[in-house]
Amino acid sequence: MERLIKLSKVCDISAGLVLRRKEAQTKSEIIKTYKLITLKSLEDDGWVNSEYLDDYNSFELLDDRYLTKENDILIRLSSPYTAIKVKAEQVGFVIPSLFAIIRLNKKDIDSGYLSFVLNSDTIKKSYFKNAMGITIPVVRMQTIRETQIPMVSTTKQQIISKINDLMIREKRLHQQLTLEKEVYNKELTKRIIKGGNKNAK
């Protein structure tokens, strides 16, 4: 029988960095420039879009707890409460306080499976229901800590994780295709208007 386990029992959960606390105000203060996770860089479909990362100038070297590690899960604290798994090529990015950081402390849970569960409609609805604020409802860290996660076998978790990866890849390809189609259609429209036919240059 499937059992539920509280998220805080299998993960360390913390908030990201309040950026102004470590941000250099002048060029002379800059000790290191990091890549910064932004709301825009977290795609609703569950992946990091590197085109929308910002630069962050810090006046000191940041504590590792504020930097992404492989297999971390980041949850956006405001709607739509998207969760993403950090991949190897996304290590070392600054995580601002707009996100919760989830780091696994047990080997019997798969990060891909966990991000899949956290992105389910059931979890997101519970976050929305328990969020604070009217204009921008923000989920509380305590709500995230108390999230109930269905525990299934390791084998089943790995299968779900792989399926989730494929679903995300498909959505990314679909998004890329849509963008390329828009560029093509704009160019086609321009040529038709200019030359009267689609082959005009």
Average pLDDT of adjacent 10-residue blocks, the chain of 201 residues? 86 96 96 96 89 96 96 95 94 97 90 95 92 86 95 93 92 89 89 69 52
- pLDDT of 141 reads 94
Overall number of domains in the chain: 1
Report yes or no on 176 lying in a domain. Answer: yes
Residue 134 in any domain: the answer is yes
Residue 102 is predicted with a pLDDT of 97
pLDDT value of residue 57: 97
Is residue 198 one of the residues assigned to a domain? no
- What the block records as the tokens of 90 is 């996304």
Identify the pLDDT of residue 197.
Answer: 57
Place of tokens 């084998």: 155
For 68, list phi and psi in degrees, rounded to 5: -65, 140
* DSSP at 132: B
CATH code where residue 145 lies: 3.90.220.20
pLDDT for 100 equals: 97
Angle at 137 between CA 11 and CA 124, to 5 degrees: 50
For residue 96, the model assigns a pLDDT of 97
- Whether 11 maps to a domain, the answer reads yes
Residue ranges making up the domain that contains 78: 3-193
| Length reported for the chain | 201
pLDDT of residue 194: 82
- 8 A C-beta contact, residue 196 and residue 188: no
β strands within the chain, DSSP E: 3-6, 11-15, 32-36, 42-43, 47-48, 54-58, 73-76, 83-85, 99-104, 148-151
List Cβ neighbours of 24 (8 Å cut-off, separation of 6 or more).
30, 31, 57, 58, 59
Q: 201 in a domain, yes or no?
A: no
User: Closest Cα to residue 130, out of 147, 118, 116?
Assistant: 147
Domain annotation covers residue 200: no
Residue 157 lies in a domain: yes
199: in domain: no
What is the value of pTM for the model shown?
A: 0.83
